[in-house]
Amino acid sequence: MEIRFCQNNFRSDLDDFFEESGIMNGEERTHHPPIVFNQIDDNVIQIEILKYPEHLMKYPDDTNVIMQWAGKWRSDFFQFKAIDYKNKRKEKNEENI
């Protein structure tokens, strides 16, 4: 089953999002949590709301995720995959060594 996000309003420019949204700081995301589209089998997609972004580490790499970033002037929705988060987390960990 393929998931298609039909709105053109989803952003996918992730560098600033990962750096400035607070998604990498490990805090609970009460107001703007990641929303995961977890494919259970060929016919079922389970939509999950995560309190902590680091829980994305347990999902398959190709898992679709959307998340809202409440920016300074407007709020935007971002679309990415679990692998994008995992790669950024790995990069951050390597910077801290």
**Tens digit of each residue's pLDDT (9 = 90 or more) over 1-42:** 666 666 667 888 898 888 888 888 888 888 889 999 998 888
Q: Which domain holds residue 63?
A: 17-95
Q: Let me know if residue 72 belongs to a domain.
A: yes
* 3 state SS for 25-81: CCCCCCCCCCEEEEEEECCEEEEEECCCHHHHHHCCCCCEEEEEEECCCCEEEEEEE
How many domains does the chain fold into? 1
- Assigned domain for 1 exists: no
Q: In this predicted structure, what is the pLDDT of residue 67? A: 92
Q: Is residue 39 part of a domain?
A: yes
- pLDDT, residue 12, reads 80
> pLDDT tens digits, residue range 68-84?
988 778 888 899 999 99
Within a domain: 26: yes
Predicted pLDDT at 52: 94
Q: Is residue 70 part of a domain?
A: yes
* In-domain check, residue 31: yes
- Which of 30, 23, 21 has the alpha carbon at shortest distance from 70? 21
Model confidence at 64: pLDDT above 80? yes
At 5 the pLDDT is 63
What's the DSSP call for residue 22? S
